[in-house]
Amino acid sequence: MTAITSTEGSGPVARTAGAASRRPTATAGPAIEVAGLRKKFGRVAAVGDVSFTVSYGRITGFLGPNGAGKTTTLRMILGLIRPDAGTAVIAGKPYAKLANPARTVGALLDAAAAHPGRSGRDHLRVLAAQAGIHGLRAGQLLERVGLADAARQRAGRYSLGMRQRLGLAGALLGDPEVLVLDEPGNGLDPQGIRWLRDLLRSLAAEGRAVLVSSHVLAEVAQTVDDVVVISRGQTITQAPLGELLAARPGSTLEDIYLELTGTTEGEPS
């Protein structure tokens, strides 16, 4: 695979310092490499041409208006949706070829993805058993995401923020080196947002790659190292956040985003 973006060799960033300790040498390439992905649903082109890379030890923000193709792209990376063209590899392999996917990649795509009649703890225990992970880890993770008190409560009674935390626990189940999170901040209160930011930073500091989509640009600006912007199914830009901001002195990430996506109104959702 050849490098396809301009960020290769774009200079060291302080936060990558501790990264090498965790990253296995066998996966020294990009954590995620997406090249020329395309997907149509019927006659609607959901993704037209998306390419970017995600590096270990960094948080990559995946931004774009509603309907830009973010979720479809994330699902293609994870092998849930079959692309019409293009490739997506994680640690050098297509998702379906990963030897132990749950231990390589953790994903949160939809906070509501739990049976409402099952407790949060049982939800995680089912996933752990399927992935061959010891059930005790379910309890540890519920503690880590702040759900220990609600572990035995039915997931149907959880608030949106609690379901996000449960989804994050599910993503962390296999102690993965790559995380793919679709709007994980949805429904979190300010304490939750702060907690999530710290969590993502600590995960990246451990050398893991984090790809996170979001609409909350002020939050993204405080959290991410790299930015990928897509619009109408196409990659508009990929660059380190610092570089983007330095190139337009006085602009905020929001200004730059709105300029790049070509609208101050946003796409209708």
Partner 1 sequence: MIGLLRGETLRLATTRTYWMLAVGALALIAAGTSAAAATSFTPGTSPARATLAIAGLAQTVALLAGALSVTSEFRHKTITPAVLITPGRTPLLVARLITMAAAGLAFGLAATGMAAAITLPVLAARHIPAGISGTQAAAIIVGGGVATALAAALGVGAGAIIRNQVGAIVTVLALLYVAEPLLGFIPHAGPAVQRYGLGGLAAAATHTTGFPATAQLLGQGAAVLVLAAYTAGVLLAGAALLRHRDITT
Residues that bind partner 1 (CB under 8 A): 72, 75, 78-82, 95-96, 98, 101-102, 105, 107, 109-110, 112-119, 122-123, 125-132, 170
Which of 81, 100, 98, 80 shows the shortest CA–CA distance to 89? Answer: 98
CB of 93 to partner 1, least distance (A): 11
CB of 116 to partner 1, least distance (A): 7
4/78 with CB nearer partner 1: 78
C-alpha distances (whole Å) from 232 to each of 63, 101, 260, 266 are 12, 30, 12, 11
List the alpha helices (DSSP H) in the chain: 70-77, 101-104, 120-131, 136-144, 160-172, 190-205, 217-223, 241-247, 253-260
19/88 with CB nearer partner 1: 88
Question: Phi/psi at 85 (nearest 5 deg)?
Answer: -155, 160
Burial class (CB in 10 A: 0-12, 13-18, 19+), 66: exposed
133/220 with CB nearer partner 1: 133
User: Under a CB-based contact definition with an 8 Å cutoff, are residues 179 and 210 in contact?
Assistant: yes
Q: What one-character-per-residue DSSP string does 44-68 give?
A: EEEEEEEEEEE-TT-EEEEE--TTS
CB of 199 to partner 1, least distance (A): 19
20/85 with CB nearer partner 1: 85
User: How many residues comprise the chain?
Assistant: 269
CB of 114 to partner 1, least distance (A): 7
47/245 with CB nearer partner 1: 47
CB of 24 to partner 1, least distance (A): 21
90/253 with CB nearer partner 1: 90
CB of 111 to partner 1, least distance (A): 9
CB of 78 to partner 1, least distance (A): 6
70/241 with CB nearer partner 1: 70
Give CA–CA dist 201/133, Å, rounded: 25
CA 155 to mean position of chain CA atoms: 23
